[in-house]
Amino acid sequence: MARDVTLFTGQWADLPFEKMCELASGWGYDGLEIACWGDHFEVDRALNEPGYIEGRHAILKKYNLKVFAISNHLVGQAVCDHPIDERHKGILSPRIWGDGDPEGVRKRAAEEMKDTARAAAKFGVKTVVGFTGSSIWHTVAMFPPAPASMIEAGYKDFADRWNPILDVFDEVGVRFAHEVHPSEIAYDYWTTKATLDAIGHRKAFGLNWDPSHFMWQDLDPVSFILEFADIIYHVDCKDAKRNLNGRNGRLGSHLPWGNPYRGWDFVSVGHGDVPWEQCFRALNAIKYDGPISIEWEDAGMDRLVGGPESLAFIRKMTQIVPSDASFDAAFSSN
């Protein structure tokens, strides 16, 4: 079951797109999961500028790279978030931020996600990966107490804002792969179930499986694959290392990435706690045949080391494939 291994460009968006392509190709990646920030893929230009899409394809062809997905996490985050504040100003383009009025930001972000689906279709890509944001993530600490009606309203808010977006995804034949992630409407097993219920399990909305977010929550990434087999539309490989020693807290203590007093941190694949072999066996079991995208994040490693090293590690995992015959078939006397 040969799989293409791609590199998510989100952590490399400070580099020009062609330089990113040159690096990924030189390391041996099969393609890219292209971020919709930096100059890597600009939705407004893709829809309105003659030759833009063709130019992106020409660069990809020059470096013998494929593209299976584009990602618009940053804009998707603003669709449902509450509050909208200076954090969002830091990740959104001035065109989406506008005057910073929260509801205006949410509405412009929603329209941009619709346009992202249209741009993906024009680009020839069938999957958009991203976040949804959440109006109720701030209630996760449970104090002051959040009434059940408030949580229900949060899922309704998600459905009200995302159903019109997903209508456009359906219209253009593109799927949205939500990354299950703290700070989103779906961040663990049960919130994923509630999220799917809120939109009636419509097929335009599926999941981007990234096991790193499961590890520090003490969730099982393998059973998640098996449970949601039909709607895993994309796979991102990122690792996380727990460092819960009685002082370091699970919530990060407001400490920056790479600080040794954090209770956990993102690390390059193979350096953390993700049970990668079991995960790839589970992906085989559900017959996932899409790309395997490496999302490299590690504050303690140079990315020019981490990029190629991650590829080598994941290539080994992709060699774990089901046998054509049962291992005990040779015992038969027939």
Question: What pLDDT, on the 0 to 100 scale, is given for residue 15?
Answer: 98
Question: What pLDDT, on the 0 to 100 scale, is given for residue 7?
Answer: 98
Query: E strands along 191-287, which residues?
Result: 205-209, 232-237, 239-242, 264-267
Backbone angles phi, psi at 177, to 5 degrees: -110, 100
Question: What pLDDT, on the 0 to 100 scale, is given for residue 332?
Answer: 65
Mean pLDDT of 282-296: 97
173 or 323, greater pLDDT? 173
| Residue listed under structure tokens 């097929």 | 203
Contacting residues for 30 by C-beta, under 8 A, at least 6 apart: 4, 5, 6, 65, 66, 291
Give residue 311's pLDDT band: very low, low, confident or very high (50, 70, 90).
Answer: very high
Q: Which domains does the chain have, with CATH numbers?
A: 5-326 (3.20.20.150)
Question: What pLDDT, on the 0 to 100 scale, is given for residue 322?
Answer: 81
Q: Could you give the CA distance from residue 209 to residue 224 in angstroms, rounded to a whole number?
A: 9
User: Tens of pLDDT along 139-182?
Assistant: 999 899 999 999 999 999 999 999 999 999 999 999 999 999 99
For the chain, give me the number of helices (H) and strands (E)?
Answer: 13, 10
Q: What is the pTM of this model?
A: 0.96
Is the pLDDT score of 46 beyond 70? yes
Q: Could you give the CA distance from residue 108 to residue 116 in angstroms, rounded to a whole number?
A: 12
User: Tens of pLDDT along 75-111?
Assistant: 999 999 999 999 999 999 999 999 999 999 999 999 9
User: Tens of pLDDT along 216-268?
Assistant: 999 999 999 999 999 999 999 999 999 999 999 999 999 999 999 999 999 99
* Contact between 81 and 106 (Cβ < 8 Å): yes
Q: Could you give the CA distance from residue 71 to residue 131 in angstroms, rounded to a whole number?
A: 9
Give residue 299's pLDDT band: very low, low, confident or very high (50, 70, 90).
Answer: very high
Nearest to 292 by CA among 275, 282, 280, 304: 280
Question: What pLDDT, on the 0 to 100 scale, is given for residue 320?
Answer: 87
